[in-house]
Amino acid sequence: MTTGNPESLSEVDQQRLLEWFDGSSRNLPWRANPTPYRVWISEVMLQQTTVAACIPYFEKWMEAFPTVESLALADMKRVLVAWQGLGYYRRARNLHKAAQIINTQGWPPSLEGWKAMPGIGNYTAGAIASIALKLPTPTVDGNIKRVYARLTADQSSFSQLDKRAWKWAAKNLVSSRAGDWNQALMELGATLCRPLAPKCEACPLKSCCLAHRLGIVEQVPEKPVRKRAVELHLAAIVYWRVHHEELEIGLIQAEQSNWWEGMTIFPTQQLDQSLDQTEKPNAIGRVTHTVTHHKITFAVCLEQVHGKMSGVNFVRASALSELPMPSAHQKIWKLASKKLLDL
């Protein structure tokens, strides 16, 4: 026996989901005190990061920058160091820009105000407006999109699905508890209505789920076509020297349009041929890293220099941990430092 209509959930189904959320939702640090600042930071971190991975970064961030003012006044280097390991560093730069705007103009009081902030899209704006500001605003992330697709057995293409999911979310919003409702749908998708091995028997909306009734839960929604990774072969040059009896390493700052804009990296050179560490002088090994549909293989090369180099900044090897360095280049340094210790 089914209850309700998946296209337009009944009050009974809505209440059932909210009761499930009230009793079963995960104890996440940003939920304990959902201020606009805490919700904003957590939502931006979660854009490309799992909840489990996000928690320690969120807690560390809140220790470093407990208020929007502390973030706005912080040096960009400190912000990037705090973000280090989360990837997609443009998010950190946008947080810093938005914090400076908020610190000057005040907190955005509306959905449209949040959409105008750097790095804030429809989903993040809707989440902040509903959870932190208690505004009757729908939102749709990947979890909600999947819940919608399964409830309605919507097998439309991925782009069409997005539009339909937003329309459905607006139609079924529980305005009196919009923040809890949006979180309940996200929580359902994250913990029960998972992409693989969904836990249908425990789902509070099982009775009105059309995909469950039709036995097509794992076929819905349609999987987007994965882009084939672009392979890049680069030489990473680790310039080193001994200065005043201390080991110093040559570094540069990543330029604009680079994945790691503004961060500290090793100089690199494009390699046209498939890597063979014997083909590059001074190569000591390889490091691989994947970023934004690109698989990068670095030939790590050591090169001793004396004196200064144009465009290269030498810093004490012992101070590298204090610099904002992306994980790919941390891997390079880990390999190079072992070799340097043997010299």
Per-residue buried b or exposed e for 277-292, using 16+ beta carbons within 10 Å of the residue's own CB: eeebeebbebbebebe
* Positive or negative: CA dihedral 81, 84, 86, 89: positive
Residue with tokens 């999987």: 223
Candidates 40, 34, 22; CA nearest to 126 is 40
Backbone angles phi, psi at 232, to 5 degrees: -125, 140
CA atoms within 13 A on the CB side of 282: 14
Q: Does the annotation mark 112 as catalytic?
A: no
Query: CA end-to-end span of the chain, whole Å?
Result: 74
Backbone angles phi, psi at 122, to 5 degrees: -60, -45
Who contacts 21 (Cβ-Cβ below 8 Å, separation ≥6)? 180, 183, 184, 187, 188
Per-residue buried b or exposed e for 52-68, using 16+ beta carbons within 10 Å of the residue's own CB: eebbebbeebbeebeeb
Q: How far is CA 133 from CA 26, 40, 91, 128, 130, in A?
A: 21, 11, 22, 7, 6
Who contacts 6 (Cβ-Cβ below 8 Å, separation ≥6)? 151, 152, 153, 208, 209, 210
Dump the DSSP string for 32-61: HS--HHHHHHHHHHHTSS-HHHHHHHHHHH
DSSP code for 204? T
Active-site choice (43, 201, 303, 322): 43
DSSP code for 140? -
Q: Which helix (H) or strand (E) holds 102?
A: helix 90-105
| Enzyme catalytic residues | 43
